[in-house]
């Protein structure tokens, strides 16, 4: 739509003013010529699919990584040397990683496609003075659209005629209760979620009918703006990808520098420049951890499999590790921390206050005395209250498989369920008291009333439900527990309502009265006097019980949990207190709640401090959710954002990791997320964080284990060049060591069980390197030990009999078996292997067995002797290799013990 038109405050204008702006007759609609002209002006009512890079470009971008550059360089060098096997293996590793990355790409494009699919296919309009169905994509600004219960709103509209119209806007605003729509104009500064005279594209009509003027289509709708936010949201690199990128850059410069120094030293000493070039190539190959990218990918994939078993589907591999780095979880309220199922939890009737157990739409639970009052079974006022809630109602509870759902308004569904918990049934009650007439809910009057037949010759019965203001002021009589009438005190009832409201409950009042037999029509004038107050029902969209525990565990793990919702501040704060996000039980946040209107007034430089110190953000727009995530990231937080609605999608994409709900989540939120919870259970996030921490622990163990191999090999070659000696290990032998040990030994660390207390630790500092000073010292120590063992045994064997092939076989075997023994040390970076249990990870034994078998083939098979330049070893040589490996393992165990005492 034209810019000046999208910026108009349509909710502030009268319907007739909006009609004049679009030059449309409210009763006759647009004519075909105008429709054609506007379609050319504004385009179709569809979301624009952004241009994206083609598959080839996206595939080639997988090679745009420093570590891959190193491997590509190694491939080119080995090709130059005509070492075809090395080139094929290294390039195969690169190709596998690139294919996996390519498959995981393009979630933003999918999110936009999902938004486009959300547009309805057909809608009812008035054109040329007649009602007609047209494809939703053909709507233009100014069209007159008719909507009714069950419809998806096809475009953004200014409503001008409503009849009991209620619309579920939870996927757009986060509000769990359907919005009651009106026709009147509103204040100009009214928030999006409070614009009750507007209907927004892709929201769902739950009750009533309405007509509206289309004021925006396609990309210019509210959902279209969210589409733009998804496209513009920056894809944040995960902590793992950042650290691996930094590590790769350092490694790249170190390898190039060391190779250049080696070449220069040898050349200056007068050695043949071709030999020095070959030695530099060997040095580069030795220093490159060829198995690292493949091993990281496989370890993350194993983490993905483990998380799938715990109901978390990972859409992008690095997200596994990111969960373990999370410092803040920003959670949507509706459907994520809560069930998105309104539930009656408190009642008042006949002088008694009652608690209702059970949550959601399942009729499981009961009614018990909360503080005082007669037994529920003996309270006739309570019986009448529950009857009124079930009969003064236009919704239905349906059982779908093992689950229950409401067809109609969630509030009415909650009333039906509360009656069912007391033993009432719609099939039994409605035939006993059939409905004769109804006064539908009107926003101006704030109540609904139904007229029922009690049988021949008996008075007709009227049930009324609505706000306390609309009913209680008219109640001069109160229905008591024994069925008699008593004079009421409205002030006492208002105090009860205030007490319920402080708990975040939405409170409905109920009344009844009798009318003469034969009455078949109910009017508002009939209700002006004679109403008998029955009681109150207070309801809320309750927290998931498991979410309470998940929040507590997350906070114990040093993770800030924040609620970001479109719901009202009072309701959101009440839920937050029940969850332990704020209040007396939580000292983490210094501010309890901030509204979207407050956020709009906060300067950009002050927002990070507010974002970090506040527990609840209520009545926020999609842009503000996105802004909050960005503000927390400015404080170096690793942010996980959970949600299930369209309004969550931009923030899900901006977050370091987006988490969507699999059952109630929209396609948009799922496609924008990195992880989808298949059970919609917030507590699954706790399990995923635990799994993510375990994955990062195991990745750290793997890197601590693998780097000494490359360091030791590089030192061996460098020392040989500096001393003017033959190379103790050849490039092809180096490649054998690197690839076989990484996959057969190091990869077994992926199956290492999580260490005790993993969720009692604080989150890692995002700026902290993967390897601390203690681990770097250990890597250097192990590299030096491997240098001593391989270089020493190589020269010892040359001294013994001058057999170069056997000497190199000894040097290679030192690396193989030294790393095998070191593997057991790396099962824990701080604890002794004896404390872990020798067989708590059987995979390391399987890997050790396989590696031994492969090494025996490498040593004793003639074909391998020829290809790799090896020689069979005798008993004495085995004693040397295994003896050194055992000594080497003992030294590391002692070093670990010393580090433990120092720390």
Q: Which of the residues are catalytic? A: 332
Give residue 650's region: left, alpha or beta (phi > 0; psi -120 to 50).
alpha
Q: Which of 40, 550, 645 lies closest to 326 in space, CA to CA?
A: 550
Cβ-in-10-Å burial (0-12, 13-18, 19+) of 750 comes to buried
Residues 830 and 755: their CA atoms lie apart, in Å, by: 11
Residue 244: CB partners within 8 Å, gap ≥ 6? Answer: 67, 296
Q: Where are the beta strands (DSSP E) in 402-553?
A: 403-407, 435-442, 447-452, 460-466, 477-479, 485-487, 506-515, 532-540
Question: Torsion angle of alpha carbons 673, 679, 681, 684, nearest 10°?
Answer: -80
- The three-state DSSP-derived secondary structure of 382-407 is HHHHHHHHHHCCCCEEEEECCEEEEE
Query: How far is residue 817's CA from residue 810's CA, in Å, rounded to a whole number?
Result: 10
Helix (H) or strand (E) holding 587: none
Q: How many residues make up the chain in this entry?
A: 903
Exposure string (b/e) for 386-419, b if CB count within 10 Å is 16 or more?
bbbbbbbbbbebeeeeeebbbebbbbbbbbbbbb
For 859, the enclosing helix (H) or strand (E) is helix 842-860
First to last CA, the chain: 64
d(CA 898, CA 896): 5
Nearest to 752 by CA among 644, 841, 850, 627: 841
The Cα 889–Cα 887 span in angstroms is 5
- Which residue, 874, 856, 875, is CA-closest to 865? 856
């Amino acid at each position: 739509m034209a810019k000046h038109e999208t910026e108009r405050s349509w909710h502030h204008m009268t319907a007739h003013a909006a009609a004049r702006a679009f030059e449309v007759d409210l009763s006759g609609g647009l004519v075909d010529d105008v429709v054609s002209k506007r379609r050319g002006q504004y385009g179709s009512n569809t979301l624009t699919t952004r241009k994206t890079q083609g598959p080839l470009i996206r595939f080639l971008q997988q090679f745009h990584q420093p570590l891959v550059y190193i491997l590509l360089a190694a491939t080119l060098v080995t090709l130059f040397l005509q070492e075809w096997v090395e080139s094929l293996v290294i390039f195969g590793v690169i190709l596998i990683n690139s294919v996996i990355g390519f498959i995981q790409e393009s979630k933003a494009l999918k999110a936009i496609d999902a938004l486009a699919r959300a547009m309805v296919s057909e809608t009812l309009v008035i054109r040329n003075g007649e009602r007609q169905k047209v494809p939703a994509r053909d709507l233009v600004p100014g069209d007159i659209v008719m909507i009714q219960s069950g419809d998806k709103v096809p475009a953004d509209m200014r409503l001008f005629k409503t009849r009991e119209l209620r619309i579920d806007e939870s996927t757009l605003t986060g509000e769990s209760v359907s919005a009651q729509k009106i026709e009147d104009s509103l204040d100009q500064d009214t928030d999006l979620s409070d614009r009750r005279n507007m209907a927004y594209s892709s929201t769902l009509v739950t009750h009533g009918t309405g007509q509206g003027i289309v004021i925006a289509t396609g990309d210019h709708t509210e959902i279209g703006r969210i589409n733009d936010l998804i496209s513009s949201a920056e894809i944040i690199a995960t902590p793992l990808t950042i650290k691996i990128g930094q590590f790769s850059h350092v490694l790249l410069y170190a390898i190039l520098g060391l190779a250049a120094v080696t070449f220069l030293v040898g050349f200056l000493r007068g050695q043949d420049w071709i030999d020095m070039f070959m030695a530099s190539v060997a040095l580069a190959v030795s220093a490159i951890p060829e198995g690292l990218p493949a091993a990281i990918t496989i370890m993350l994939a194993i983490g993905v499999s483990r998380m799938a078993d715990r109901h978390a589907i990972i859409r992008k591999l690095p997200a596994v590790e990111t969960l373990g780095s999370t410092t803040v979880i920003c959670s949507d309220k509706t459907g994520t921390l809560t069930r998105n199922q309104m539930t009656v939890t408190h009642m008042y009737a006949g002088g008694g206050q009652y608690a209702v157990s059970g949550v959601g739409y399942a009729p499981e639970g009961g009614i018990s005395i909360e503080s005082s009052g007669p037994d529920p079974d003996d309270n006739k006022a309570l019986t009448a209250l529950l009857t009124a809630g079930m009969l003064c109602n236009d919704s239905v509870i349906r059982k779908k498989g093992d689950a229950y759902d409401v067809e109609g308004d969630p509030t009415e569904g909650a009333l039906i369920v509360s009656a069912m918990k007391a033993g009432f049934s719609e099939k039994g009650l409605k035939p006993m008291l059939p409905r004769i007439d109804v006064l539908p809910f009107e926003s101006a009057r704030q109540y609904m009333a139904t007229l029922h037949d009690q049988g021949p010759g008996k008075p007709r019965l009227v049930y009324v439900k609505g706000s306390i203001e609309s009913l209680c002021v008219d109640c001069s009589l109160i229905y008591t527990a024994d069925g008699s009438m008593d004079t009421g005190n409205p002030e006492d009832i208002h105090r009860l309502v205030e007490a319920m409201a402080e708990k975040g409950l939405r409170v409905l009042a109920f009344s009844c009265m009798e009318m003469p037999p034969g009455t078949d029509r109910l009017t508002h004038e009939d209700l002006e006097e004679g109403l008998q107050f029955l009681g109150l029902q207070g309801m809320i969209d309750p927290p998931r019980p498991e979410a309470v525990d998940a929040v507590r565990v997350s906070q114990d793990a040093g993770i800030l949990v924040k609620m970001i919702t479109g719901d009202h501040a009072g309701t959101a704060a009440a839920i937050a207190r029940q969850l332990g996000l704020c209040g007396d039980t939580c000292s983490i946040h210094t501010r309890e709640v901030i509204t979207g209107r407050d956020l709009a007034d906060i300067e950009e430089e002050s927002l990070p401090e507010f974002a970090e110190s506040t527990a609840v953000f209520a009545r926020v727009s999609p842009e503000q959710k996105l802004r909050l995530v960005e503000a927390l990231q400015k404080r170096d937080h690793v942010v996980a954002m959970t949600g299930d609605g369209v309004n969550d999608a931009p923030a899900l994409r901006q977050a370091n990791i987006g988490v969507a709900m699999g059952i109630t989540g929209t396609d948009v939120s799922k496609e924008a997320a990195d992880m989808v919870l298949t059970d919609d259970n917030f507590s699954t996030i706790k399990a995923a964080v635990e799994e993510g921490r375990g994955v990062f622990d195991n990745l750290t163990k793997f890197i601590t284990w693998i780097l000494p191999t490359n360091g030791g090999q590089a030192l061996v070659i460098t020392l040989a060049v500096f001393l003017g000696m033959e190379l103790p290990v050849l490039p092809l032998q180096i490649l054998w060591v690197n690839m076989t040990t990484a996959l057969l030994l190091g990869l077994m660390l992926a199956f290492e069980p999580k260490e005790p207390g993993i969720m009692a630790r604080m989150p890692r500092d995002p700026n902290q390197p993967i390897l601390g000073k203690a681990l770097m010292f250990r890597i250097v120590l192990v590299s030096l030990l491997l240098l001593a063992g391989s270089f020493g045994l190589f020269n010892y064997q040359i001294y013994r009999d001058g057999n170069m092939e056997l000497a190199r076989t000894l040097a290679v075997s030192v690396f193989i078996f030294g790393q095998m023994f070191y593997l057991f040390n790396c099962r824990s970076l701080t604890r002794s292997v004896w404390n872990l249990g020798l067989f708590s990870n059987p995979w390391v034994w399987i890997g050790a067995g396989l590696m031994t078998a492969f090494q025996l083939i490498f040593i004793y098979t003639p074909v391998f002797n020829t290809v790799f330049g090896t020689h069979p070893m005798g008993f004495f040589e085995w004693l040397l290799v295994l003896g050194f490996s055992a000594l080497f393992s003992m030294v590391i165990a002692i070093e670990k013990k010393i580090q433990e005492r120092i720390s």
